[in-house]
Chains A and B, each alone.
Chain A
């Protein structure tokens, strides 16, 4: 494979992963943890949406606008509409500069748009909202925003909406996380091992079974994605090339192999609980005679043969 073919194949696979995350629309849940942070992947998805020409809104609650925009070049930064809820989210400075209604008001305002342009809304972070708003209110708002394009009769006028939500898994109990998970069309859970990040992607397509895939990846400084094969084999410590592999079936005192006749006999054996036509015939025919086996039992001195009181012989 020439280097250019390899590069095209690489970008093809990269597009596949980000495309598959953005293609379904609806709510995309990015579940991260302290060790494996998800903001870089969120920014990679934001960059991809911006490059595809979508309108991108960011509800920034956790980090400052400068920090979020860091790493994006200017044409991407010009396409991002940033709603800053970092400086004064609770209106403690009493200046009413912030959007009235706070982040929830901003989210609800996005339900009322009527453009045909596809829109991506990035929530940084969904955990911030979930800690301060009742779970039901937040879920209703998310449902209203992410399902705008599925109203019958209106579907041609409103473009596809994707909502990217960054969720810090350790902060919430299983109830709220489960509620958000059931709302999500796509869920990405981040993990990894040995310094290599892994995305576990669950896609719920309508009227199809949910699909599950894992992908090793890393995020480059310009927030493009680099797909990888996984931790390299050389880094595994326990495979030593100097010791030849040993066949454990040599030098045994018992026979592990089957001869041809034994193999045929084994294959033709009918399993006892398998119901076949022969067995049905055998059961339906009347029994040829009495059972030929008897059980002889000699009761001990301590045995109690009285079936009504089985505990009588316990010395309590």
Chain B
């Protein structure tokens, strides 16, 4: 996890809020550093994490996780992390005969209407174990990312329904958190992606939006991050606050600074 981002979000692993949906989106840049941040954040917070990783392999996340101080392999072995590796298990859908529906069953069906098998997988992974002692603090669902589900043939409403059920189960019933990443196509006219992004924006409590700089690529400033808090628990005078910071990604951390205040410029 990136300590500076924790400071900006005013949170630490010990006292993070529960029952929240966090939306990560990126436009003209790669927002996956936010996924790595939240993965290591919640593992350090001793949460039970279900990670639906559709974009990269387990070893990729594991290598980055080691730089951030968490070991995904050990987390998986002790049962803290349930990892659905989309790239590997997509092959299982086709080649292995499964009795119960596979989480990625929609890849096989011609007219898959919904993501119910994927939801059942998530619910099964995060349901509390009645063993008497509570090993983990609260469950967390992490999805990287939802836009690829649109590319794989699901409709925007089907993906919204999936997140709706995840919210109902993970956020409301189990008092956990959900973090999802959606790409913003920006100029490309992708109506389904826009419906997905706007629909999730309305349901989210926190939106982190990583944008490339309008002027193009820069060596010292990799992009800017917009933080938008929605639906705070108490409606105060300053509801729906929004902040913008610029950032630079380094090997093991990300440094944030106010616009125009990059150390390279000053």
Contact = CB atoms under 8 A, between A and B. Distances in A.
A66 B19 CA distance: 12
A86 B168 contact: yes
B202 A34 contact: yes
Contacts of A34: 198, 201-202, 207, 228, 230
A130 B240 CA distance: 26
Chain A interface, DSSP helix/strand/loop, else mixed: loop
Interface residues of B, number: 28
Contact of A64 (B168, B201, B202, B242): B168
Given A35-B240, A90-B114, A171 B168 contact: no
Contacts of A218: 237
Contacts of A171: 195, 198-199, 202
A62 interface: yes
B231 to A, nearest CB: 7
Task: Choose among A34, A35, A39 the residue with the greatest number of B CB atoms under 10 Å from its CB.
Answer: A34
A37 B235 contact: no
Contacts of B238: 195
Interface in A220-272: 220-221
Nearest to B196: A171
Contacts of B202: 34, 37, 62, 127, 168, 171
Interface in B223-241: 228, 230-231, 234-238, 240
Contacts of A62: 202-203
B194 to A, nearest CB: 7
Interface stretch (B32-40, B159-167, B178-186): B159-167
A90 B161 contact: yes
A67 B240 CA distance: 17
Contacts of B228: 34-35
Interface residues on A, range: 20 to 34
Chain B interface, DSSP helix/strand/loop, else mixed: helix
B164 A89 contact: yes
B199 A131 contact: yes
A62 B161 CA distance: 11
Given A62-B203, A71-B235, A131 B157 contact: yes
Nearest to A43: B235
B240 A170 contact: no
A212 B90 CA distance: 55
A179 interface: no
A170 B199 CA distance: 8
Interface string B237-257: 110101000000000000000
Interface of A: 34-37, 39-40, 62, 64, 66-67, 71, 86-90, 92, 127, 131-132, 168, 170-171, 195, 218-221
16 contacts: A34-B202, A34-B228, A34-B230, A35-B228, A35-B240, A35-B242, A36-B240, A37-B240, A62-B203, A66-B172, A71-B235, A89-B161, A90-B114, A127-B202, A131-B157, A131-B199
